[in-house]
Structure 1
Amino acid sequence: MQAIVLVAFGAPLTQQDIARPAAGPGQVLVRVHASGVNPLDTKIAAGQAGHAQAALPAVLGIDIAGVVDSVGADVAGFAPGDRVYGMTGGVGGVAGSLSEYVAVDARLLAHMPAKLSMREAAALPLIFITAWEGLVDRAHVGAGKTVLVQGGAGGVGHMAVQLAVALGAQVSATGSADQRAAIEGMGATFIDRNVPVEEYAGEGFDIVYDTVGGAVLDASFRAARRYHGHVVSCLGWGTHALAPLSFRAATYSGVFTLLPLLSGEGRAHHGDIMREASALVAAGKLKVLLDATRYMLSADSVSAAHRALTERTASGKVVVELME
């Protein structure tokens, strides 16, 4: 089968003919139709993501959408011909989705909603799981909660906004002026990202989800409500002073979405989260913003998809299509 292979960090991607895998115990063999491209893929390729523990040579591609080809032993709930999607590999030595077939842990998969195209489905898993783990698993979002999403039109950000709205929260989101319509269209109050947090936070928010990191995470600490405010970040990788948060008697959680793939623990929960995504899509409460450019399974095309992210020319999620 054909696959896109990273042979050395920082080296050009190559297209190779590699052995087609078989579904082992607990696995499903998927005929890949689309592979989502995330900023993490570009960092792995450049050798800038030690936390992803990629082992060379590597087939990248964290997110997948496709059709079940065969099912291994001890797998229930999936059958050949099923349309499935999930966040299934591309890190920690686990084969990614930039190949015609991939054998994946069935616990990571969910059935695709009928209304999603393969391209849309491949764009969803990592960003939705990251949003869910922050808002639901860590911060326990619910009806009546006030939520601030930092970077509300980004990949994780636009999932977090829609998820919080769907669960009944009162949502605000920061973004650039040209992102205002998108943020308001998702049901959130727009806040210009250049406005200092002290000018809009008021008494503070029950939940602040930072998807930007750096100085924005520092500002998020100052936006938390006193006593019961909770800050969540999926990019809390720097050195930060916790005093502004401590002086509010507020709390903080980090999100590391890769952990089930790297450790093998908690994989079934990712499948559960993807089933929640399917329910929200079916109910018309969740949509993914896609970049208009189409990319295919070739070294040049995948490299162009990576450049669209590193050069920030993409407007929405980037997807590589292997089949219609």
Structure 2
Amino acid sequence: MSNIPATTMRALLLPAPDAPFAMHHLPTPVPAPGEVLVRIHASGVNPLDTKIRAGAAAHARHALPAVLGMDLAGTVQAVGPGVTDFQPGDAVYGFTGGIGGHQGSLADHAAVDARLLALKPAALSMREAAALPLVFITAWEGLVDRAQVRPGHKVLVHGGAGGVGHVAIQLARARGATVWATGSAAQADTIRALGATPIDHEATDVDTYLAEHTAGQGFDVVCDTVGGAALDASFRAVRRYTGHVVSSLGWGTHALAPLSFRGASYSGVFTLLPLLTGEHRAHHGEILREATALANAGLLKPRMDPLRFTLESAAQAHARVASGQAQGKVVVDVLP
């Protein structure tokens, strides 16, 4: 493949909420100062992508028509003025667009803020790398930045078989914690294979699993990736005084009294802020460098849905995610 960018590129445009994607040929972007032009090989699909497409994510504003797709993996084709960390030919990945007016990854190329990128793990394929950025950054900001997970901690992950949850399990274990995770009975083997003790949240109440796994004392860190009733359960499951609940889904109305009665702490995680505000973008690149190190050490690997999709079938990829039937992360293969 030539390193000279084509003058035009394929891009999937979403013209209006809930409308069909439309394939267009657009001018290939030119990287501005501080930006990198990436030839996109793969585009990760997250539940949030499907909500943006449906017009149901006001917190992830993205004026239409627009190109969706928040996660990418690909090859650097050109660098803008001032970029010194990357050069043409580098394999990179990142959470780089698809919200806040930033072009997404359902296109052949994207010019992205270099601070949001990291070198792709050599141990992972482009598809696997494209599955990681949003979910890993979310897990890191909660478990490491907020809760400072460390050896000896007992960690409970709500939704352990999900996108953020299955990465949170691996991250907590890599930092020396012992991990439990909630899920359905059908997800127990998946959770166990990730290295956590499964808890059937449909058959076991909070008091029961606290007594069984923590002698009633509670977990040092509870990572909620589900929201709703799971967040309410988190407030009851956390250790008194020193416990910390972190959540990336704080929707709904929640009583804080159970948390207050335990003298514990709560932190919210909103991974989109750097793209929406421009603040702290370099930290996303720093976090992904940590992901690269973990993946190359064999401590981090995304679960991948077995179905394959292309730009032409991206709508089917979105439907797969929205249906809840995906058996791991869904990724669109962009490079023909």
Asked if these proteins are the same fold (TM beyond 0.5), I'd say yes
Aligned to 1:177: 185
Question: After superposition, what is the alpha-carbon deviation per residue over 1:72-119, rounded to whole angstroms, capped at 9, x for unaligned?
Answer: 001111000000000000000011111001000000000011121110
Letter in 2 for 1:291: D
TM-score (norm 1): 0.98
User: For this pair of structures, how many residues does the alignment match?
Assistant: 322
Pair 1:197 & 2:206 matched: yes
CA distance in 1, matches of 2:132, 2:286: 14
Aligned to 1:20: 28
1:47, distance to aligned residue in structure 2 (A) = 0.4
TM-score (norm 2): 0.95
Letter in 2 for 1:302: A
Pair 1:34 & 2:48 matched: no
CA distance in 2, matches of 1:8, 1:18: 18
**Aligned-partner SS, 1:222:** helix
Aligned to 1:307: 319
**Aligned-partner SS, 1:25:** coil
CA distance in 2, matches of 1:122, 1:289: 12
Aligned to 2:263: 249
1:277, distance to aligned residue in structure 2 (A) = 0.2
1:282, distance to aligned residue in structure 2 (A) = 0.6
- Superposition pairs of residues 1-324 of structure 1, within 5 angstroms: 1-194=9-202, 195-201=204-210, 202-298=216-312, 301-323=313-335
1:20, distance to aligned residue in structure 2 (A) = 0.9
CA distance in 2, matches of 1:13, 1:122: 20
**Aligned-partner SS, 2:27:** coil
Task: Indicate if the aligned counterparts of 2:108 and 2:335 stay in contact, CA closer than 8 A.
Answer: no
CA distance in 1, matches of 2:311, 2:54: 19
CA distance in 1, matches of 2:195, 2:328: 18
1:133, distance to aligned residue in structure 2 (A) = 0.3
Larger deviation, residues 194-203 vs 131-140: 194-203
CA distance in 1, matches of 2:268, 2:303: 25
CA distance in 2, matches of 1:37, 1:296: 12
Unaligned runs of 5+ in 1: none
1:312, distance to aligned residue in structure 2 (A) = 1.3
CA distance in 2, matches of 1:42, 1:125: 17
CA distance in 1, matches of 2:243, 2:334: 44
RMSD: 0.8
**Aligned-partner SS, 1:286:** coil
Unaligned runs of 5+ in 2: 1-8, 211-215
CA distance in 2, matches of 1:15, 1:217: 40
Larger deviation, residues 88-97 vs 172-181: 172-181
**Aligned-partner SS, 1:159:** helix
**Aligned-partner SS, 2:18:** coil
Letter in 1 for 2:170: Q
The runs of at least 4 aligned residues of structure 1 exceeding 4 Å deviation read none
1:288, distance to aligned residue in structure 2 (A) = 0.3
**Aligned-partner SS, 1:204:** coil
1:170, distance to aligned residue in structure 2 (A) = 1.1
Letter in 2 for 1:279: A
